[in-house]
Every structure is written in structure tokens, then in C-alpha cells.
Amino acid sequence: MKAFVHEGEKLLIKDVAEPDVKDDEVKISIKVAGLNHRDLHIPKRRGNVADPLVLGSDGAGVVEMTGKNVTNVSVGDEVIINPGIGWLHQSDAPPESFEIVGMPDDGTFAEKYVVDQKYVEKKPSYLSWEEAGVLALAALTGYRALFTKGKVSPDSTVFLPGAGSGVVTYMIQFAKAIGARVIVTSRSAEKKAYARSIGADLVIDTEADWDVELQDETIDLVIESIGKATFNRSLSVLRKGGRMVTFGATTEDQVTIDIRQFFYGQYQLFGSTMGSREELRTALKFMEKHQIYPVVDKVLAFDEMENAFKYLDEAKQFGKIAVQISKDD
């Protein structure tokens, strides 16, 4: 089968062996896979490794084969993959065994993907293949950050730096669906307009002086994923006693904070990472109830995968990038 792999220091499409199906497993013929920022980090983290790794955490497709113990899906079912392996029930943090699809084990940027039946969910019928293929990882991350950790409420004001981020495009829509006030930032005029079109109440420039721009706002919750470039500025606009959730560090991990300011302000800081299967199922029901659609910026062909990586690396996208692995019959 054709797969997009990291091998040596290269990213390339190559023929690899099709994975076998064990008794509890499901083989999925992937129609659409979705990119995440994580796909950019993995080759950097792996460095020069001879063993090819199939990248990719998100995907949607059709069940092609099932092991003899599989009971939850049948051949021909349309499904999405839950990329959070080993985390079934809601808990404060993932179990030690938690892994994300696409490293260390092979991922979804391949014609076929095999996974335990526990990590296969029915494709939401109101979504297209492209929308379903970019859904799980970012929607789940946004759902846990906003609801489980952030405890967003309809009367709260939420601040989300980096509107172009796939995860942020879900959070804008989730927070609006319950009636919260949503403020976002972006470095791009075009993305600012998109953010307004999906519900953001106030959109400011990432490079502006936030203390000035937001002086009349009371921000109850900040969800921060940019990291070093914005972390302290995000904290400075949070109301005293407010919550900050961090789940990403697009621009660098190491941040210095003034702890005196922090404890005088009685701020609350929470880390978050993806979410459990229970939260994914709740997020999918929430999206269907509120008819929330993933924002798909671009759909590219499988052999354009390198261009898809470049587009994401240059942060040109607003929302998600989908890659068509196989076309409709």
C-alpha cells in the first residue's frame, strides 16, 4: 500500500506492507486524513531514523476487514479513528500507557490503517468525508480544554489567541454554541475575517497591545496554545482569579513567569492534552446537536502531501488541512 512516511531525515510517499488484522482489530480503507501541528513536530523529534514511520493521527474511511472478536462495526461501515490510544474514561490526566496515533506506531497517512476496535467511532452522518477526516484530534483537544479543564459557561468571556489554529476554530464554535463571549487574535487580516464569520465576537491582531485592546473586557478564561510568543501576554489579560488552560507550544516550550504577579492575581493554570474516548463521544454528540462543522481550509491529493506540510508549517491555514487518500468509487 502507499503510505506517507518519515524515514532517514526525509518525508516521502512509499510502498509499505499492508498491516495484518488481529482478532480485536479493524482494517480501515482511509478516504481522507487530516493534518495536525503534531505531524510537523514528529520528524523533528525523531531526527535521522532509518525505520520508516507512517505519520498521521486523524482519518476517516470505510471498514474493509474485521477480526473475529470485533462487535462494534462491520465491513462497509463509515468510521473515524480516535487518535487517543489507551485513554477510555474521563480522568484528570491520561493513563501512563496513553499514546497518540502516528507515533510511536504507524499512523493514518496510508491507504489502509489497522486499529483495535475500541478506537473506531461511527462517522457523523451530517459531515462530508473531508470534514470527518480532520475531526477527531483537534475537536477532542478543544473540547477538553474548553469544557473539562476550562469549565467555560454561557456567561463567561473566553480569549483564544491564534485563530488560524485547527483546534481554535473548533473552540470558537463550541464556545459560541453555549452562548459565551469569544475573543480571538490572529496575525492575518484574512483569518480575522474568517474568525468573525464562524462566530468570534471580537477579533484583534496578535501583534497589537492586548492590555490596551482588551481594557474594557473581563476575560474569565484564556486558552493558550501558541506558547512562548504569547503566554505572558495571555496571562496579563486574564481577570484576577481567572483560569488559563495551556495545551500547546507552537512557538517554544520554555516560558518565564513572574510568580509574585501570579499568586497575587490568584490565577488558575491548567495543562490539557487531547482527551478520553468518553470526551470524544460527548464532543461528537455536542457537535451534532449544535450542527458544528469542522473548518476545512484546503483539500489536497495524497501525492501533494509535502505541499500540505509546507502550508501548515508556514501557518497559512485557517482551520484544518485535509488530504484525500483514496477517491470515491
Give the one residue of 134, 312, 323, 325 binding ligand NAP; rule: CB under 6 A: 312
List the grid coordinates of 307.
505541499
Q: Do the beta carbons of residue 161 and residue 234 sit within 8 Å?
A: yes
Shortest Å, Cβ 323 to ligand NAP: 14
277 binds ligand NAP (CB under 6 A): no
82 binds ligand NAP (CB under 6 A): no
Amino acid letter, residue 263:
F
Q: Do the beta carbons of residue 166 and residue 320 sit within 8 Å?
A: yes
Amino acid letter, residue 50:
A
Phi and psi at residue 49, in whole multiples of 5°?
-125, 130
Cα 192–Cα 193–Cα 198 angle in degrees, nearest 5: 95
162 binds ligand NAP (CB under 6 A): yes
152 binds ligand NAP (CB under 6 A): no
Count of CB atoms situated within 10 Å of the CB of 207: 10
232 binds ligand NAP (CB under 6 A): no
Among 68, 84, 3, smallest CA distance to 36 is for 84
Part in contact with ligand NAP (CB under 6 A); list of ranges 20-28, 31-39, 43-51, 102-110: 31-39
Residue with cell 467555560: 152
Shortest Å, Cβ 19 to ligand NAP: 25
149 binds ligand NAP (CB under 6 A): no
247 binds ligand NAP (CB under 6 A): yes
Shortest Å, Cβ 46 to ligand NAP: 15
Part in contact with ligand NAP (CB under 6 A); list of ranges 45-53, 122-130, 158-166, 276-284: 158-166
Distance of CA 107 to the CA centre of its chain: 15
Residues lying near ligand NAP in the complex (CB under 6 A) are found at 36-38, 41, 138, 141, 162-167, 186-188, 191, 206, 225-226, 229-230, 247-251, 273-274, 312, 315, 317
